[in-house]
Amino acid sequence: MSTVIATGRDQSRVIGLVCTAHFMSHFYILLLPPLFPVLRDSYGVGFTELAFAVSAFSLTTGIAQAPVGFLVDRFGAPKLLIAGMLLESLAFVLIGMFPVYPALVGLMVVAGLANAVYHPADYAILNARVDEQRMGRAFSFHTSAGLLGAAMAPVTMATLMLLGDWRSAVITSGAIGLCIALLLMANGDLLREARADIGRRREPADGQRSGMSLLFSLPVLMGVLFFVGIGMTGHAMSTFGVSVLAEMYAAPLEQVAPVLTCYLFAGPVGVLLGGWIADRVRRHDQVAACCFALVAACVFAVAGLDMPLLVTALLFTAAGLFAGVVSPSRDMMIRAVTPPGEMGKVFGFVSTGFNIGGILAPPLYGFLLDTGDPSLVFYTAGVISLLTIGTVLVTGEQGRRARTYSR
């Protein structure tokens, strides 16, 4: 995608619109899980069946992201983003209107397909409409908006249920998304891609790959592994952190849960700080590598040292902060290895690394937790964090070579 940079004010509006869409993406991901106790009675099924519906959503998103990335590059990111928002919002409206289990599973598949649009479309729009000096902060706002959307889903659903039932809460949430889709449509000219040859075949420049050849090139595959490492390390802390700490400290869940809260709140702060850093450095690989090493040091300390829970909370906070700082530099590195016109497919493809990490991490960490030594979960996460440094350095080196080719 060639770029025509918007004015400063328009860039802020573009970032705001894309971040709003990303907020809704993560909001919808966590819309139903907080309602499981109520949904179990309403649908007459168990937690396993409800979890299957959520898994169908995630699996569909993971499978569809790379193909959707090709569509983004061919037909234009704004069109796909608006279509995805409309389709996903409508799916949740229909879930509230037709509370039968087969409809739930089918509509979650539809919602998962629509959710696959956001990462490739969002990054393609930001790359086309935001200038280089603001790109790191734009990426950090984008990531923070997603984290905020996930955080807002449980409290929003609880509030809406106080005003009605679960069905009205889900329908209202879907209707909000439809309104956001209309907002995106009204600002379509602002989001438009600045090239007249959308859909035309473009010949790659000398030294550059395109299409499937690009996706299976070394830097992009390293990018996928990069995302896998981030996902698996994050799952150790966010998904299994409370269970591991409860075992390590022989403490009740309510005593160790605030430690996880420290980690989760530190993440967005780190992302915003990372955006400021990413706009001021060129060696994004060094920033990411240092942060991964510091995350590993934090989790190794928690796993191996006998310390008060307060100190563990401080280390969790530091780990969350450093993990957040990585995100904008991560996105800048992937951008650096991506040729013009290939942004959608590359970001769609590398984002599947998160899904792969989400598939691999739970059974691995669950098995380690069952061994009777809960610290193995954190030791493993630390090792994965260190191994991810290798993918970072390779991706960074390939990005510098790509910039050399483009000159």
Query: Over 60: is that where the pLDDT of 205 sits?
Result: no
314 domain-assigned: yes
Indicate if 395 and 283 belong to the same structural domain: yes
Torsion of CA 56, 62, 63, 64, to 10 degrees: 100
Indicate if 314 and 398 belong to the same structural domain: yes
The tens digit of pLDDT for each residue in 63-109 reads: 898 899 889 888 889 999 999 999 999 999 999 999 999 999 999 99
Domain membership of residue 242 as a residue range:
211-406
Indicate if 146 and 275 belong to the same structural domain: no
Indicate if 222 and 309 belong to the same structural domain: yes
Query: Which residue, 191, 226, 246, sits at the end of a domain?
Result: 191
Closest CA to 353 of 322, 301, 307, 391: 391
Average pLDDT over residues 372-393: 93
Indicate if 234 and 179 belong to the same structural domain: no
Q: Which residue has the higher pLDDT, 404 or 78?
A: 78
Task: Tell me what pLDDT residue 214 has.
Answer: 81
350 near 223, Cβ under 8 Å? yes
Task: Tell me what pLDDT residue 330 has.
Answer: 86
Mean pLDDT (the chain) is 86
Q: For residue 269, give both structure tokens.
A: 């702060």
Indicate if 137 and 269 belong to the same structural domain: no
Query: Over 60: is that where the pLDDT of 5 sits?
Result: no
Domain count, the chain: 2
Query: Which residue, 131, 160, 191, sits at the end of a domain?
Result: 191
Indicate if 179 and 219 belong to the same structural domain: no
Lowest-confidence segment of 129-143, 149-163, 197-211, 344-358 by average pLDDT: 197-211
202 domain-assigned: no
2 domain-assigned: no
Indicate if 227 and 146 belong to the same structural domain: no
Closest CA to 397 of 389, 266, 127, 210: 389
Query: Which residue, 191, 220, 252, sits at the end of a domain?
Result: 191
205 domain-assigned: no
Q: In CATH, what number is assigned to the domain containing residue 21?
A: 1.20.1250.20
Question: Helices 309-336 and 284-304 meet at what angle, rounded to 10?
Answer: 160
Taking the alpha carbons of 27, 69, 229, 336 in that order, is the dihedral positive or negative?
negative
197 domain-assigned: no
Indicate if 234 and 128 belong to the same structural domain: no
Question: Helices 253-278 and 241-249 meet at what angle, rounded to 10?
Answer: 130
86 domain-assigned: yes
pLDDT band at 400 (very low <50, low <70, confident <90, very high): low
> What does the radius of gyration of the chain's CA atoms come to, in whole angstroms?
21
Indicate if 175 and 288 belong to the same structural domain: no
Question: What is the value of pTM for the model shown?
Answer: 0.80
Indicate if 305 and 177 belong to the same structural domain: no
204 domain-assigned: no
328 domain-assigned: yes
Indicate if 263 and 141 belong to the same structural domain: no
The tens digit of pLDDT for each residue in 228-264 reads: 999 899 888 887 888 889 889 988 878 888 888 888 8
Average pLDDT over residues 364-392: 92
